[in-house]
Copies of this chain bind each other. A is one copy, B any other.
Amino acid sequence: MPKFLALRDAIRDHVADGACVALEGFTHLIPFAAGNEIIRQGRQQLHLVRMTPDLIYDQMIGAGCARRLTFSWGGNPGVGSAHRIRDAVEQGWPRPLELDEHTHAGMAAAYRAGAARLPFGMLRGYIGTDLPQHNARIGSVRCPYTGEEIAAVPALNPDVAILHAQRADRRGNVAITGITGAAREAALAAAKLVVTVEEVVEELPPAMNGIVLPHFVVTAIAHCPGGAWPSYAQGHYARDNGFYRRWDAIARDRAQFTAWIDRHVRGTADHHAFLASLRLAA
């Protein structure tokens, strides 16, 4: 049965320095509030895992939380570069970032293997690419029936996965509607699962084949409305495409980035105060 905690307490209790952490959500339901809280609490040396390290990891990496990144696409979707990730890779600022780089198909196979507690995933992948020359973790396995060589990746089993979802019920079942990416797989692959939600309801709407993470796979739930902003929560609020565009200028410059993080993230007590401070600045 998950605990219902304030986000501050959920992060304090479940994200340790040096931990392997996956904040997932593919464009949709990205747990930005949780990422900000990790920055606020000054976590260090994290091994961050995420298929698409976009703004959320740009912020965390720029704020100095990470030492290592497992990923398959890192940029600002539809806009351009993730400038803070670039700076960490190109210049080692604010600290060097070790890369464990994959393709989407490879990451998906690795999460799936992790969710099933298999030691590796496989795919017909990494064909015609230089990636395996630079990542020794990309391997292969021989089919015991056909003799074919199939690409392999080690299972991903983060210490903790963090998701944002639309709603949880009082027992801690978590329901998600819309694009999930590999969020379900990452959630089930992790040793612990922390979820921020838009609302806590008495009873979830009948799900039938909908996506529900049953309460016994959830470690902690934090009620955090707006927790996916500037990404979106289907049925609650839309993606703030304007902010994604504006982020390009904020993140391009170290000083400007740090001022933004200091003022809006480190300078606020929680996600509500963060959003209020942004509204004030707008």
A152-183: contact bitstring with B at CB < 8 Å (1 yes, 0 no)?
10100000000000000000000011101000
Copies per complex of this chain: 2
Of A117, A119, A123, most buried by chain B (CB within 10 Å of CB) is A119
Q: Do the beta carbons of B146 and A119 come within 8 Å of each other?
A: yes
A200-237: contact bitstring with B at CB < 8 Å (1 yes, 0 no)?
00000000111100000000000000000000000000
Name the residue of chain B whose CB is nearest to the CB of A137. Answer: B145
Q: Do the beta carbons of A177 and B208 come within 8 Å of each other?
A: yes
A4 within 8 A of B: no
A178 vs B210: C-alpha distance when bound (angstroms) = 10
Which B residues are in CB contact (< 8 Å) with A124?
117-118
Q: Summarize A's interface: helix, strand, loop or mixed.
A: loop
A60 within 8 A of B: no
Q: Do the beta carbons of A143 and B119 come within 8 Å of each other?
A: yes
Q: Least Cβ distance of A181 to chain B in Å?
A: 12
A230-263: contact bitstring with B at CB < 8 Å (1 yes, 0 no)?
0000000000000000000000000000000000
Which B residues are in CB contact (< 8 Å) with A178?
208-209
Q: Contact check: which of B146, B152, B211 meets A209 at CB < 8 Å?
A: B211
Can you offer 14 A-B residue contacts whose CB atoms are under 8 A? Answer: A118-B122, A118-B123, A118-B124, A119-B145, A119-B150, A120-B144, A120-B145, A140-B144, A141-B142, A144-B152, A176-B209, A178-B208, A178-B209, A209-B211
